[in-house]
Structure 1
Amino acid sequence: MKKTPRFIFFSGKGGVGKTSMASSTAVYYAEKGLKTLIVTTDPAANLSDVFEQQIGHKVTAIEGVSNLLAMEIDSDEATAEYRERALAPIREAFGDEMVTIMEEQLNSPCTEEMASFDKFTDFMDTDEYDIVIFDTAPTGHTIRLLELPVDWSKHIEESSKGSGQTCMGPVQNIQDSKDKYDRAVKLLQDKEETHFIFVLQPEATPIKETIRSAKELGEIGINTTEVIVNGILPEEELLNPFFKKRGEMQKRYLQQINTEIPLPKRKMQLLAEEIRGVEILEKVADQLYNQQEAVNQIEISN
């Protein structure tokens, strides 16, 4: 029997439906009896809309699904928490002038990225949940995030010069966090513990971005596990002239996906209704996981 991963990352181009697929997957595992957490690192997070309840920057139980919790990481709040942890020992040991200098040094986009990474690694460094599902930001931002802690020698070397400061905080903070981040990187590179799933639609740009991003992840030791091809038109709708033309286009792109993306694939048909609420998420989960297995080649009808 295939081992259930402890961590599943969903990524993809904006607008392909990765939040819907991640949320449906979370419902699937929770209803199997696993204590499941879904976390979004996407600044345009909409878990609250998908689950039709307020979530925000705190772990929140999902109504109507036992064992399921969710959190939307707020980048501003995460950055404020990260800066405070970095500044607290300095505030105790030095005067206001030093704190002011360090506050300025920590005021950078790099610090915001590290704060987001630090926050989600908290959920990789605990045994509180059976499975954690990460709904990530669009692929470019996600890859940048995952690349950050790989080269520790660079950060420590930079910190040892001049002020002993990088966008990650004082060198002591880096050393204190190193073990936790190293464990996270090791888990990210473990194919049994961590699955990385790309969601795409049968269109040119998502296909191109998936191929490029999977290659970039591979270069830092993270393997793509499978892809979900979302938004496929049902065969019965292709009698309509408009949908027939679009269906023919989709078939060409599905053939391209079969040829150029040599990974296990699942397919998700376009639904008539919006994917919102537990009932619809259960329907999607059933189609994704109960009614099909991941296959190397998507069957394309003539």
Structure 2
Amino acid sequence: MTDSTSYLFFTGKGGVGKTSLACATAVELADSGKTVLLVSTDPASNLKDVLESPVDENINSINGINNLFAININPEHAAEEYRNRVTQPLEGIATKDEINKIREDLSGACTTEIASFDEFSRFVSSESEGEKFDVIIFDTAPTGHTLRLLELPAAWSSFTDENPDGASCLGPTSALKSGKERYHLVVDRLRDRDLTTFYIVSRAEKASLKEASRTSKELKELGMSNQRLYINGVFKAIEKQDSLAIKIEEMANEQLETIPDNLKLLPSKSYPLLPYNVLGISKLRSLFNNELQKSISEKTISKLEVSTQVLKGIDQLVDELCMNQQNGLIMTMGKGGVGKTIAASAIAVLLAKKGFEVMLTTTDPAAHIQDFIEQLGEMPPTLTVERIDPKAETQRYMEKILLHKGKGQSEEAKKLIQEDLKSPCTEEVAVFHAFSKAISMAKRKFVVMDTAPTGHTLLLLDTAGSYHRDIMRNNLNAERLKTPYMYLQDPKLAKIILVSLPETTPMREAASLQDDLKRAGIKPYAWLINQSLSMLSGISDPLLRSRANAEIDVIHTIKSIHAERTYGIPFIAEKKLLPALLHEYYETSK
């Protein structure tokens, strides 16, 4: 590692261990004599906890290591400043509603990312104390969408000022602190193999590896090909008599054997799942030091006491969902990889087993629902399964927008509109139009939907006057009409289940999603904690016992701070996940 490039970027799905590996790398480089700056742009950053040292929006030295420094760029603050810079010149000119619409246009993930990139680009271009450091490490890298958008010449022309609806992600370029030249310099440096390395972090899990594969491909297409693959948290059983531990190890090995082809070409390293949380300099050093790792693990395991966590099961959640109700919309929401699909499938099957008419549908591009249902062999007769194809819906929506907004524009301007339409928000808006049809069915039966739009998308639809207002304005019976947006706001008709893992990062991401929904007037019904080891009794493997113990504080935080109702799904180490989860409920309901 001591021969590292000047700029190191760590990227990957939430909860894979990007921050731990970025911090451990920073410590190792600082120990080797280099002066290192660690920069985080993660909205749920826990750099302060991991480094056990004050970290804020200023460059601070880290306790215990003279030549290690860190800064946390708060993306929410950066995005808010960015929105203020856009709307300030319009005060007194535009109406309050128009300004609110522009602010909501600029409330998506893309704007937050661009605002963060605007901040940290100054470190890569050496214009913000960057020259003081031998190595700058970024915990969380920008996506390909952001980088492509900023590369388009049209993004820097007067087009954005003249056509504010043309680029909802970028907005007027006058709001950017950085200039066109600086961005070009930064992108050139990111492409330079001698200057920049991208570390793609994954777990030994299908969803995580798939995301890593997509990220690698996207970066390579942008000419950023100096990549490394880190597979983190690989489980190795300690107690060979623990059947659960042996099964988990076997399943992890199987996943690693089916690693995507493009990832096989990257130099890679794997790191074990540890029985302790990697907090503090000593534990960070242990990530790359086997002897230290062994010593800390033995101390941690020797003083371990585990209590079993009691959570209501998914069967009790279903009992409450259908209490005094024959129909309604149930949506599972959460970040990728937390188990939304298995949760939606289980809820739908349990409702159907009670004799209710149920439609199970998904807006997930990966569409794993069919895989889960096929595991059952026989489907309950009252259950139907459908799929909204996001690709087809998005294509239809993009063509409609391009026709409308691209009329009379130059080719360069059209390119900008096209790139802007590649943002995640576009797919959500397009899918919303499609699942409006599914929502109408929920007046007659239960509709269980895997994946739903974020609060930002819902607000965008409402404040932009697009769908909701058009219907209200053009319908003679508007006072009796309930639009899909209003339907989602009605807790009697729509119930949203937030799915999380019993780990800190997924919990923080789900809490952020909950805040986003509440901003749109939508209050989640319950939290469902998936893959909980602490719900199981009889675990003898010390490593699993340690992980189960670590869940207790997270679950307590969810129950006491975030959720009105909390349910759990125990950890299941089976290939046929849905039948295994439903087995005990089937047995008791016969």
The normalised TM-score by structure 1 is: 0.80
8 Å CA contact retained: 2:237, 2:246: no
Shift of the 263–233 alpha-carbon distance from structure 1 to 2, 3 Å rule, reads same
Unaligned runs of 5+ in 2: 291-590
Q: Deviations over 1:161-211 (max 9, x none)?
A: 357996656555669600111111111111221101111111111111111
Provide the residue aligned with 1:97 in structure 2: 92
| Secondary structure of the structure 2 residue equivalent to 1:272 | coil
8 Å CA contact retained: 1:159, 1:165: yes
Residue of 240, 254, 257 corresponding to 1:255 = 257
Give me the identity figure in percent. Answer: 33
Greater Cα shift, 100-109 or 141-150: 100-109
AA aligned to 2:10 is: F
Measure how far apart 1:266 and its partner are: 0.8
Provide the residue aligned with 1:198 in structure 2: 200
Shift of the 210–204 alpha-carbon distance from structure 1 to 2, 3 Å rule, reads same
Provide the residue aligned with 1:282 in structure 2: 285
Shift of the 239–23 alpha-carbon distance from structure 1 to 2, 3 Å rule, reads farther
8 Å CA contact retained: 2:189, 2:195: yes
Instruction: Indicate whether 1:59 and 2:59 are aligned.
Output: yes
8 Å CA contact retained: 1:87, 1:99: no
8 Å CA contact retained: 1:27, 1:285: no
Greater Cα shift, 23-32 or 250-259: 250-259
Provide the residue aligned with 1:216 in structure 2: 218
Shift of the 111–251 alpha-carbon distance from structure 1 to 2, 3 Å rule, reads closer
Provide the residue aligned with 1:298 in structure 2: none
Answer with 1 or 2: which has the greater Rg: 2
Shift of the 153–237 alpha-carbon distance from structure 1 to 2, 3 Å rule, reads farther
| Secondary structure of the structure 2 residue equivalent to 1:66 | strand
Provide the residue aligned with 1:183 in structure 2: 185
Measure how far apart 1:257 and its partner are: 2.8
Provide the residue aligned with 2:6 in structure 1: 6
Provide the residue aligned with 2:137 in structure 1: 133
Q: Deviations over 1:59-115 (max 9, x none)?
A: 221101121111221123223444566689x6xxxx952598996646613543321
| Secondary structure of the structure 2 residue equivalent to 1:228 | strand
Measure how far apart 1:263 and its partner are: 0.7
AA aligned to 1:41 is: T
Q: Deviations over 1:238-258 (max 9, x none)?
A: 553221111111111222238
Equivalents in 2 of 1:175, 1:279: separation in Å?
38
After the TM superposition, which residues 50-129 of structure 1 pair with which residues of structure 2 at under 5 Å, given as runs? Answer: 50-82=50-82, 97-98=92-93, 105=102, 108-109=106-107, 110-126=110-126, 127-129=131-133
Equivalents in 1 of 2:254, 2:166: separation in Å?
52
8 Å CA contact retained: 2:237, 2:245: no
Shift of the 246–271 alpha-carbon distance from structure 1 to 2, 3 Å rule, reads same
Shift of the 274–175 alpha-carbon distance from structure 1 to 2, 3 Å rule, reads closer
Provide the residue aligned with 1:144 in structure 2: 145
Number of matched residues? 279
Shift of the 283–147 alpha-carbon distance from structure 1 to 2, 3 Å rule, reads same
Equivalents in 1 of 2:214, 2:165: separation in Å?
36
Superposition RMSD on alpha carbons, in Å?
A: 3.1
8 Å CA contact retained: 1:233, 1:270: yes
AA aligned to 2:21 is: M
| Secondary structure of the structure 1 residue equivalent to 2:288 | helix
8 Å CA contact retained: 1:231, 1:270: yes
8 Å CA contact retained: 1:10, 1:197: yes
Provide the residue aligned with 1:28 in structure 2: 28
8 Å CA contact retained: 1:217, 1:224: no
After the TM superposition, which residues 33-44 of structure 1 pair with which residues of structure 2 at under 5 Å, given as runs? Answer: 33-44=33-44
Q: Deviations over 1:253-281 (max 9, x none)?
A: 22223865221111111112111111000
AA aligned to 1:187 is: R
Provide the residue aligned with 1:299 in structure 2: none
Equivalents in 1 of 2:269, 2:43: separation in Å?
27
Provide the residue aligned with 1:297 in structure 2: none
Shift of the 153–29 alpha-carbon distance from structure 1 to 2, 3 Å rule, reads same
Shift of the 165–85 alpha-carbon distance from structure 1 to 2, 3 Å rule, reads farther
AA aligned to 1:267 is: S
AA aligned to 1:273 is: Y
Provide the residue aligned with 1:293 in structure 2: none
Equivalents in 1 of 2:236, 2:48: separation in Å?
28
Q: Deviations over 1:127-150 (max 9, x none)?
A: 12111111117xxx7333333312
Residue of 233, 236, 246 corresponding to 1:234 = 236
8 Å CA contact retained: 2:82, 2:175: no
Instruction: Indicate whether 1:153 and 2:154 are aligned.
Output: yes
8 Å CA contact retained: 2:11, 2:18: yes
- Higher RCO, Cα 8 Å, sep 6+: 1
8 Å CA contact retained: 1:3, 1:192: no
Equivalents in 1 of 2:117, 2:241: separation in Å?
48
Equivalents in 2 of 1:162, 1:27: separation in Å?
47
Greater Cα shift, 209-218 or 273-282: 209-218
Greater Cα shift, 233-242 or 59-68: 233-242
Q: Deviations over 1:24-49 (max 9, x none)?
A: 01111111111111111111111111
8 Å CA contact retained: 1:158, 1:164: no
Shift of the 123–238 alpha-carbon distance from structure 1 to 2, 3 Å rule, reads farther
| Secondary structure of the structure 2 residue equivalent to 1:56 | coil
Shift of the 215–258 alpha-carbon distance from structure 1 to 2, 3 Å rule, reads closer
AA aligned to 1:97 is: G
Shift of the 47–87 alpha-carbon distance from structure 1 to 2, 3 Å rule, reads same
Provide the residue aligned with 1:265 in structure 2: 268
The normalised TM-score by structure 2 is: 0.43
Greater Cα shift, 240-249 or 2-11: 2-11
